[in-house]
Chains A and B, each alone.
Chain A
């Protein structure tokens, strides 16, 4: 099986969908001619393959990039637009929050908005808090949107292909660290990964860790370390925040009786709170111990390497939380 980085897997999904459907186009800042030329990046080579009619480099104009997607989707195209870094979402947010998410509802179900907004996200590059700020909880809070955050290249490919074919807006958040992580196996054949289904990345019986995106790696490392002590962690990779796979979440907690939610985003108002609420409402009786959150602290992401490392939750943080919960 081929091994790809996440950017390459995204690239393959875009390529396949653009070949399949002439209504799919991509647009954004530097999606064609980029200041970063690297075959590990998601839109590398697409301009050469599909031409400037379908790979649209835009001016630095996030609001109109998102508006382009809304208007073109309503007309029946399948735009895949890119917001270069997650904090720049704020500049596009009116079009996404007030329009992509709401116009179908406002039409009484007459219109559909088959658009994907790809957002690069995640700390770890010393880029600072205006380039690194995980805002998935903001968008997950908006009815009308679907929020997808793949953790592996294989999931990224299958989820993006599904997202492009979906008739509702999808916010597709890619963790940039995964672009440059060691390549992982990605099936070569055509496949679609459904939205709204979590994936158990590691089966275990003692404690459930719910995570997504860039935190899957540290979670898996922590589980590996703990397994040497006979502690058996189950890791649920949510993959999509909305729609949320409550069933997989609850059945895992029913089995293990213990829950930790781990995400890179800051703590207060983070999506871990929603996971906690679902479990407390629907699975309270399963819990043998209080739940824990392992998240970024409530600070902007700092630049200096020791400060940024302090910000990003890691395997040790998770191991410490596990030890608090297990007798």
Chain B
């Protein structure tokens, strides 16, 4: 299936916004008392969120994990509300309750970012069940890393999703590292997608740095799900350029390995292809970049200018 030029440009734009957003966070988190908590970004992995979310309809849901920014931006979250939340401000999408690691954006059907590794899976099962129960032609996407595939919740969730043929796409974003542990150090299975067969669902392997390829795979899985043919496990093979978090010196990642993967940058790859095919011009590319920078600058300005919540607002929102 050919991916349209318009779609490719959209995928590229999303990835550039994600990268610029991350670039800003990597700087901001180094400034004392600027950003609370641990900063986790996903540089080099932008094609996964962009490609998968590019295949979704607005009413489709995503459940995402600690490395969520790319997913949420690709799903359509407001960068200003995200940035303000990351700052811990009152105007943040969760009024300062969640911060960078638990961003919840239910208005775009991204109701949960969970930091408990493997916890996206059972929740996604519930979200997909609701879609099936109401006979809605919608899907839920569940993002998780390769480390989460070692949790018990992975087993329970894939088994039940396949048993009930839920409209669910399990997206394993295999970035080769689970914390400080290399992929080969946490499982014997060469391809995580192989585990799908053990649950009676199709597994797909896709180049996770190729946004149109990820998009095609997600579209196929979505079609299967809404046709009533159940879940799919898509393994997106990609790479985490940085450490687990911005304070992780990540000496366990060989420097030549990082360099090799940086050369496979998903943004450069798609933009060069589009430039080579003369689908976009260098000027258009520069404009996309400066547009993305503008979006992020505006988000940072909004967050900077927003007030903190009053301390006693901590007591609100536990119950309805």
A108→B318 contact, CB < 8 A: no
Q: Pick 28 A–B contacts, CB within 8 A, sort by A.
A: A67-B124, A68-B125, A68-B129, A70-B122, A71-B122, A71-B128, A72-B126, A72-B133, A74-B106, A74-B123, A75-B131, A94-B119, A95-B119, A99-B116, A99-B119, A99-B123, A103-B112, A105-B97, A105-B317, A106-B98, A107-B94, A107-B98, A107-B104, A108-B92, A108-B94, A108-B104, A110-B107, A144-B318
* Cα–Cα distance between A95 and B63 once the two chains are bound (Å): 14
B248 within 8 A of A: no
Distance, CA A69 to CA B93, complexed state (A): 24
Name the B residues within 8 Å of A99 (CB-CB).
Answer: 112, 114, 116, 119, 123
Chain A residue at minimum C-beta to C-beta distance from B313: A108
B-contacting residues of A (Cβ < 8 Å)? 25, 53, 56, 58-59, 61, 63-64, 66-77, 79, 94-95, 98-99, 103-112, 143-144, 146, 167-168
Which of A67, A75, A105, A111 is close to B318, meaning CB atoms less than 8 Å apart?
A105
Within the complex, the shortest CB–CB distance from B86 to chain A, in Å, comes to 13
Does B153 interact with chain A (Cβ within 8 Å)? yes
Q: Is B316 interfacial (CB 8 A cutoff)?
A: yes
Interface 9-residue window, one of B27-35, B42-50, B157-165, B287-295? B157-165
Q: How many angstroms between the C-alpha atoms of A64 and B246 in the bound complex?
A: 32
Query: Would B156 and A61 count as touching, CB distance under 8 A?
Result: yes
Beyond A59-B160, A72-B127, A72-B129, is A104–B122 a contact (Cβ under 8 Å)? no
Q: Determine if A59 and B121 form an interchain contact, defined as CB atoms under 8 angstroms apart.
A: no
Q: Which of A61, A73, A103, A168 contacts B104 (CB 8 A)?
A: A103
B309 CB → nearest A CB, Å: 9
Chain A positions within 8 Å of B123 at CB level: 67, 70-71, 74, 95, 99
Inside 8 A of A79's CB, which chain B residues have their CB? 126
How many residues of chain B get a CB closer than 8 Å to chain A's CBs? Answer: 45
Q: Is the CB of A71 within 8 A of B320?
A: no
CB < 8 Å A-B pair total = 144
Q: Does B9 sit at the interface, judged by CB under 8 A?
A: no
What A residues does B156 contact at CB under 8 A?
59, 61, 63-64, 67
Point out the residue from A58, A59, A73, A106 that lies within 8 Å of B97, measured CB to CB.
Answer: A106
Contacts of A98 in B (CB 8 A): 114, 116, 119
A107 to B128, CA, bound (A): 20
5 closest Cβ pairs, A-B complex: A67-B122, A71-B126, A75-B130, A109-B317, A108-B94
Count chain B CB atoms within 10 A of each CB in A66, A69, A77, A109 and give the residue with the most.
Answer: A109
Contact A59 B159 (CB under 8 A): yes
B116 touches A168 (CB 8 A): no
In the complex, are the beta carbons of B153 and A144 less than 8 A apart? no
Contacts of A168 in B (CB 8 A): 319-320
Residue in A61, A67, A105, A109 whose CB lies within 8 Å of B126: A67
Nearest B-chain residue to A169, judged by Cβ: B319
